[in-house]
Amino acid sequence: MRNERRVWHAQRQPRMRDPPHRLVFLDETYVNTKMTRLHGRSRKGQRLRMSAPFGHWRTHPFVAWRRCN
């Protein structure tokens, strides 16, 4: 525990004090095509025409980042 505190004070805490314009926030997430709706709604008397993947159930991961400026 003592060693972890030393690492925190020596390496991690100074990074948190960096100016905000130098910080980058990363987020990793995914989209799964199995979550596509198979039913929908349309106006009365009109047919709903949309496409959905059929037979290609895949997971598409992606990473996003954001900065203050």
Q: How far apart are CA 57 and CA 60, in angstroms?
A: 10
pTM of the model: 0.38
Q: What is the pLDDT of residue 25?
A: 86
What's the pLDDT at 55? 64
Q: List the beta bridge partners of residue 31.
A: 60
Q: What is the mean pLDDT of each run of 10 residues along the chain (69 residues)?
A: 86 79 84 78 89 74 85
Cα 45 to Cα 1, 42, 49, 50, 51: the distances in Å are: 69, 8, 13, 16, 20
Residue 62's contacts (CB-CB under 8 Å, 6 or more residues apart) are 28, 29, 30, 31
Which residue type does 67 have?
A: R
Q: Say which DSSP state 38 is in.
A: S
